[in-house]
């Protein structure tokens, strides 16, 4: 460990807070329909969109109508993406398939489409050997935008329900989607893409480049329109790499600066939404309390991952390597890590992308040490509430807040109240279901995949023996259920003997189980969150009295952390013990 | 708040889904490509390095510096593939998990070797052995415990363009001896091709292997151009 490594983590959280705070007030204006500085430019475009889509943006929807619009929009998104990916060769006339790649089989495509639609970006395929530029752009980039926007609008709708004073309206889905895309995602993505291009992230439609190396060999280098997708991949907490090794690839993440820049893009909206929530409730301290909860858990995760990775792995020590810091080398577990990022830069990146639903990686999580690898596990077990995905993080933690208020209310023996609204059986039931449905999906799928021959064939041969095989399986379904998309990447659902998909086939059981895992664990919690919004929207607000438990002070922060850890630990501890914790506690090597 | 008919809402959803394909999937990447090609033509096309009009690589993508193995004046082939060995006159890149360890930049991949796996230990031991065999004749006292970790562990992309400064300093002994250069001259080149930490704290320093090797060739009038 080095001072510079710790400085990276501290400076990062400070920079994040400094960016997220003003963005939070901007978001509050965007979602309460106020003018912002982009209005003169974007306003006319916004009106054109409303006309084309046929939307009366002032028309409020109740939660059921809002959910119906969301589901219909998602359904068409799914169908269009599936169509584009399965007809890859048909689009060669555009010139955007220079390598002449064929489509992947139906089962892998089912998984991929469900994955990008749900903001998961789990990838059984490898970008540069299967996807044409057209599929990446018109197919995958589109869902990078759409799925991120869907997450954000659900969070906004839930906040509206919480603060709503009369009626059952929680906003208009089309209005929220349009404003999210035009005022937030597209402008920041444009800036992000330009910054990334300036640093060496590719943006071209060329054939793969053939070079003649210094020693006279030939090397073929993958190309493509990467920067435009990379920006929204990070900003929308999507995480699906254009190239197989994701943000470890120098063309996606070229240097020490882009490494920090990309994780700032990942966290800025989830963090800003928390401040937005504070502003919209009229009490900014509500936002600060949630922000503090998230920041504490985040810093804890960074510290554990950094210490564990800097210590090195049992395999390294058994081979006789010295893993301490020496002059000219940072040491540590460098298996599956890039020199330019080092241990701290890799640890913080993977913590950021696993606390959020991003799932991009700049190093191989499967090669992390037992305890270092347990950190992404723990982050996922907390159901993506530590900042979380764009929108999903806020609506998920608000469900936990509801639960914490309820438990707090029981402890002091009063009717639980939250922001002046009495919490009753209906909301608590809905929130409880919303919280438990994701772990349920994850554990059910893991059990099924571990217990069947069809499931175990996906485990990589190198990991077949020890607890690593279980870790791979568990991580796969946990990651897909949480719509994260990072992987212990030895776990496979696709066999591709040569580039371009000729002769390739998917592992149907694994592809389908993962696909349904993602779809179910995405849309069920969304419906519960919207239902909670609907249930709260119509409630009258009563002024806070002496007996009201406050939700904006340090006591509540502690209570909230306790509830999150307790739910996560009770649900996942037995499974975690069988995989990463066993590995972290032993120096034993497994065949 | 009467909600619209199901049919009308369906049509609306279809139109919206198509609008976002055109705007986000076609217009946005096209405009970004236009901007990039005009403003950052070098960067967005792969940061290519050109020598004598020929593209010899990318500043950002690592290469393997191998030379074919000859036996009795003939190339040795193994199942149709020419066998190669590290060219000792060049600084060597990190181990790579790409196909054949050959820095295949058309299919990046990491090793996925777990922390507690026998396979991982064997792979690391193999890398250590190769590194010691290559360098110990020129750097006596090289043992597993002072092999820098980056030389024994494969990178994340399989295309890492950099090695650690410690790794470069050890290899400098071999490269200087085989190129008949003073060690001081080779060591003095290293800082020029070392990327620094961002703002002094973020990330790690790394030496760009291709650029360093190219500089050596240029200094000596070009092994590279001779091929």
CB contact set of B212 (below 8 Å; sequence gap of 6+):
B91, B168, B189, B190, B193
How many residues comprise chain A? Answer: 591
Hey, is the C-beta of A538 within 8 angstroms of any chain B C-beta? no
Q: How far apart are CA A279 and CA A476, in angstroms?
A: 37
Strands (E), B166-215: 194-195, 206-208
What is the 8-class DSSP label of residue A208? P
- Is residue B150 within 8 A of residue B172, CB to CB? The reply is no
Whether residue A104 has pLDDT greater than 90: yes
Q: How far apart are CA B101 and CA A564, in angstroms?
A: 44
Find tokens 């790579």 and name the residue. B96
Q: How far apart are CA B96 and CA B110, in angstroms?
A: 8
Distance from the Cα of B136 to chain A's closest Cα (Å) equals 16
Here the ipTM equals 0.94
Instruction: Flag the least confident range among A76-80, A170-174, A489-493, B178-182.
Output: A489-493
Q: What does A46-110 look like in DSSP terms, one character per residue?
A: HHHHHHHHT--TT----HHHHHHHHHHHHHHHHHHHHHHHHTGGGGGGGT--TT-PPPPPHHHHH
pLDDT digits (tens, 9 = 90+) for A357-376: 888 999 999 999 988 988 99
Option in A146, A168, A363 nearest B20 (CB): A146
- Is residue A119 within 8 A of residue A392, CB to CB? The reply is yes
pLDDT of residue A383: 77
- Give me the half-sphere count of Cα atoms (radius 13 Å) on the Cβ side of residue A531: 15
Find tokens 């809402």 and name the residue. B9
Option in B15, B40, B45 nearest A198 (CB): B40
pLDDT tens, position by position, for chain B (227 residues)?
A: 445 788 999 999 999 999 999 999 999 999 999 999 999 999 999 999 999 889 999 999 999 999 888 888 888 887 777 888 999 999 999 999 998 778 999 999 998 898 988 999 999 999 999 999 999 999 999 999 999 999 999 999 999 999 999 999 999 999 999 999 999 999 999 999 999 888 888 889 999 999 999 999 998 876 544 44
- Is residue A252 within 8 A of residue A242, CB to CB? The reply is yes
Chain B partners within 8 Å of A76 (Cβ)? 13-14, 16-17
Q: How far is CA B83 from CA B69, B74, B76, B98, B178, in A?
A: 6, 11, 6, 16, 22
DSSP 3-state percent helix, strand, coil across chain A (nearest 5)? 65, 5, 30
Whether residue A408 has pLDDT greater than 50: yes
Please state whether beta strands B74-75 and B84-86 pair in parallel, antiparallel, or not at all (unpaired).
unpaired
**Average pLDDT in the A280-289 region?**
92
Residues 273-332 on A with a CB inside 8 Å of B are 312-316, 318-323, 326-332
Hey, is the C-beta of B70 within 8 angstroms of any chain A C-beta? no
Structure tokens at A313: 């792995």
Instruction: Please give the residue that has the higher pLDDT: either A180 or A539.
Output: A180
Nearest to A112 by CA among A450, A482, A480: A480
pLDDT digits (tens, 9 = 90+) for A214-267: 998 999 999 999 999 999 999 999 999 999 999 999 999 999 999 999 999 999
pLDDT digits (tens, 9 = 90+) for A490-528: 899 999 888 888 889 999 999 999 999 999 999 999 999
Structure tokens at A449: 């995949």
Q: How far apart are CA B190 and CA B167, in angstroms?
A: 11
Structure tokens at B100: 């054949």
Whether residue A547 has pLDDT greater than 60: yes
Structure tokens at A426: 């209906």
Whether residue A317 has pLDDT greater than 90: yes
pLDDT of residue A465: 66
pLDDT digits (tens, 9 = 90+) for A423-478: 999 999 999 999 999 999 999 999 999 999 999 999 988 766 678 889 999 999 99
Hey, is the C-beta of A245 within 8 angstroms of any chain B C-beta? yes
Counting residues of chain A whose pLDDT is more than 70, the rounded percentage is 99
pLDDT of residue B89: 95
Contact B156 A337 (CB under 8 A): yes
pLDDT of residue A79: 97
Residue B106, number of CB atoms within 10 A of its CB? 18
Whether residue A572 has pLDDT greater than 70: yes
Strands (E), A366-458: 417-418, 421-422
């Amino acid at each position: 460990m080095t001072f510079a490594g710790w400085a990276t983590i501290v400076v990062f959280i400070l920079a994040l807070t400094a960016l997220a705070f003003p963005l939070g007030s901007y978001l509050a204006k965007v979602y309460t329909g106020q003018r912002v500085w982009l209005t003169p430019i974007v306003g006319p475009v916004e009106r054109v969109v409303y006309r084309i889509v046929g939307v009366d943006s002032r028309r409020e929807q109740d939660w059921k109508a809002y959910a119906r619009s969301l589901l219909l929009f998602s359904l068409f998104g799914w169908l269009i993406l599936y169509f584009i990916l399965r007809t890859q060769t048909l689009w060669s006339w555009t010139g955007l398939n220079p390598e002449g790649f064929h489509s992947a089989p139906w089962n892998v495509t089912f998984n991929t489409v469900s994955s990008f639609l749900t903001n998961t970006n789990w990838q059984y395929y490898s970008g540069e050997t299967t996807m044409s530029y057209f599929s990446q752009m018109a197919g995958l980039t589109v869902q990078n935008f759409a799925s991120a926007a869907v997450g954000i609008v659900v969070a906004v709708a839930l906040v509206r329900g919480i603060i709503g004073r009369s009626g059952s309206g929680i906003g208009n889905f089309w209005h929220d989607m349009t404003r999210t895309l035009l005022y937030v995602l597209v402008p920041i993505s444009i800036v992000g893409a330009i910054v990334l291009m300036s640093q060496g992230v590719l943006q071209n439609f060329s054939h793969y480049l053939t070079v003649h190396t210094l020693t006279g060999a030939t090397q073929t280098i993958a190309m493509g329109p990467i920067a435009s997708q990379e920006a929204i991949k990070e900003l929308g907490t999507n995480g699906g790499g254009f190239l197989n090794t994701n943000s470890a690839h120098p063309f996606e993440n070229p240097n020490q600066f882009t490494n920090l820049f990309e994780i700032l893009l990942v966290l800025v909206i989830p963090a800003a939404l928390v401040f937005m929530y504070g502003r919209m409730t009229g009490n900014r301290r509500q936002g600060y309390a949630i922000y503090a909860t998230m920041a504490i858990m985040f810093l804890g995760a960074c510290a554990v991952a950094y210490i564990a990775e800097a210590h090195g792995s049992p395999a390294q020590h058994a081979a006789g390597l010295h893993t301490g810091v020496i002059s000219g080398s940072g040491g540590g577990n460098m298996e599956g890590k890039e020199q330019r990022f080092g241990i701290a830069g890799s640890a913080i990146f993977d913590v950021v992308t696993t606390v959020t639903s991003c799932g991009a990686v700049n190093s191989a999580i499967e090669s992390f040490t037992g305890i270092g690898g347990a950190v992404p596990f723990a982050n996922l077990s907390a159901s993506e509430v530590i900042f979380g995905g764009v929108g999903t993080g806020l609506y998920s933690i608000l469900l936990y807040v509801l639960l914490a208020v309820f438990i707090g209310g029981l402890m002091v023996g009063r009717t639980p109240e939250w922001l002046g609204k009495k919490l009753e059986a209906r909301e608590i039931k809905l929130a409880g279901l919303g919280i438990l449905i994701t772990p349920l999906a994850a554990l059910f799928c893991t059990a099924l995949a571990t217990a069947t021959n069809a499931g175990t064939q996906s485990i990589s041969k190198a990991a077949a023996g020890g607890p690593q095989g279980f870790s791979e399986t568990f991580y796969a379904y946990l990651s897909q259920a949480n719509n994260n998309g990072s992987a212990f990447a030895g776990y496979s659902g696709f066999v591709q003997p040569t580039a371009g998909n000729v002769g390739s086939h998917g592992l149907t059981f694994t592809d389908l189980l993962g696909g349904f895992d993602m779809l179910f664990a995405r849309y069920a919690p969304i419906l519960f969150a919207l239902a909670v919004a609907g249930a709260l929207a119509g409630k009258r607000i009563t002024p806070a009295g002496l007996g009201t438990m406050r939700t904006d002070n340090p006591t509540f922060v502690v209570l909230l952390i306790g509830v999150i850890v307790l739910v996560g630990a009770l649900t996942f501890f037995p499974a975690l013990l069988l995989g990463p914790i066993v590995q972290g506690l032993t120096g034993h090597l497994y065949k | 708040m009467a909600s619209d008919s199901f049919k009308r809402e369906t049509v609306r959803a279809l139109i919206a889904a198509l609008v976002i394909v055109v705007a986000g999937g076609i217009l946005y990447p096209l405009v970004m490509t236009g901007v990039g090609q005009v403003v950052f033509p070098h960067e967005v096309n792969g940061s290519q390095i050109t020598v004598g009009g020929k593209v010899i690589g990318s500043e950002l993508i690592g290469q393997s510096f191998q030379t074919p193995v000859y036996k009795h004046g003939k190339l040795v082939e193994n199942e149709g593939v020419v066998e190669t060995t590290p060219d000792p006159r060049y600084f060597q890149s990190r181990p790579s998990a790409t196909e054949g360890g050959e820095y295949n930049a058309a299919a990046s991949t990491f090793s996925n070797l777990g922390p507690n796996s026998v396979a991982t230990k064997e792979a690391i031991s193999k890398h250590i052995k190769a590194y010691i065999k290559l360098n110990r004749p020129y750097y006596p006292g090289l043992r597993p415990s002072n092999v820098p970790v980056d030389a024994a562990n494969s990178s994340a992309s399989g295309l890492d363009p950099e090695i650690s400064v410690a790794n470069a300093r050890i290899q400098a002994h071999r490269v200087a001896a085989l190129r008949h250069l003073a060690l001081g001259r080779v060591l003095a080149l290293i800082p020029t091709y070392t990327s620094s930490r961002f703002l002094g704290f973020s990330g790690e320093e790394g030496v760009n292997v291709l650029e360093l090797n190219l500089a050596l060739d240029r200094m000596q009038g070009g092994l590279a151009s001779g091929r």
